[in-house]
Amino acid sequence: MSSFRTIELSDPAYESDGLRFLTVKTPNLRGRGDICLYVPEVAEGTTDLPIYILLHGVYGSAWIWAMKGGAAKTAAEMMQNKDIEPAVIAMPSDGLWGDGSAYFAHHQKNFAAWICEDVITAVRENIPQASDSSAVCIGGLSMGGYGALMLGARFSEKFKAISGHSSITKLAEMSLFVEEPLSDYTENCDLPQVIDAMKKNRDRLPALRFDCGTEDDLIEGNRLLHRQLSDAKIGHTYAEFAGGHEWSYWQRHVRRTFRFFNSVLAEE
């Protein structure tokens, strides 16, 4: 029995290059949510592929990691070359609120539960190559990096690893990108910061890495987060590379996310 009232899954006859599309209706969004999927070709009967969730940034949606970031093609190439083991790549929308939902609950919609509950359940129930035993990792870029870092810390029991690229590290940085005022996200409460979530859940955090481009406007926030984590003795890997807040950077470095996820799962 399905966990969702309605489900629409793309028809294999019209799919291309392993990309599939899934739409489910969920109370967490008070409507429908979309997930773009890359499902690799594997031996018949395979049912426990890991699930790698990639969260997008502001302005984007479920299609953008695959069709602007090349994530599906990159994953396919890495799997074919035996660089990483096969995995389902799940690329959901953020819930499509404003310029970006920031992946937490507000305006009577629970964008965190959409990612951490609905997306995982939808993949496990509708993609035969995945199952309840599939391990889950979460990554993202910019606002999606914020989402991955925050959700990975807050719901650590769901995930084996976290990876962020060019991440927003505190909600206040959303104002650099969106037209909605910060008060539309949170009223009468502090602005959520990644370091606070990390410290609160420090004893149960998944494996953690993040990186940022040296020409990125978010570089100082990422450097500060690295120092804060180091001062708090919270294990993590941080790296900087040439580049700005741009798709060419994320196209290159999503490989690091896939390799990281693969290495973490290989050690289990």
pLDDT value of position 188 = 60
Nearest partner of 93 among 177, 9, 36, judged by Cα: 36
In a domain, 247, yes or no: yes
Residue 93 is predicted with a pLDDT of 98
CB 168 within 8 A of CB 193: no
Domain annotation covers residue 232: yes
The CATH number of whichever domain residue 42 belongs to comes to: 3.40.50.1820
Report the alpha-carbon distance of residue 150 to residue 60 in Å, rounded. Answer: 19
Alpha-carbon dihedral 212, 214, 215, 220, rounded to 10 degrees: 70
pLDDT above 70 covers a percentage of the chain that reads 99
State pLDDT tens for residues 94-137. Answer: 999 999 999 999 999 999 999 999 999 999 999 999 999 999 99
Domain assignment present for residue 117? The answer is: yes
Q: How many domains does the chain have?
A: 1
pLDDT category at 174 given cuts 50, 70, 90 is: very high
Identify whether 86 is part of a domain: yes
| 223 located within any domain | yes
User: What's the pLDDT at 191?
Assistant: 75
Q: For residues 226-234, give the mean pLDDT.
A: 98
Sign of CA dihedral 162, 164, 168, 174: negative
Instruction: Locate all alpha helices (DSSP H) within 127-267, ordered by sequence.
Output: 143-154, 194-200, 219-231, 247-266
Q: Are 200 and 186 in contact (CB under 8 A)?
A: no
- What integer pLDDT is reported at residue 69 of this predicted model? 98
Residue 1 counted as domain residue: no
Q: Is the pLDDT of residue 229 over 90?
A: yes
Range of the domain at 246: 7-266
Q: Which residues contact 58 (CB under 8 A, 6 or more apart)?
A: 99, 100, 142, 143, 174, 177, 178
Residue 167 lies in a domain: yes
Give residue 190's pLDDT. Answer: 72
pLDDT confidence tier of residue 186, bands split at 50, 70 and 90: confident
Cα separation, 150 vs 44, whole angstroms: 36
Residue from 256, 179, 171 nearest 221 by CA: 171
Distance between CA atoms of residues 143 and 117, nearest Å = 19
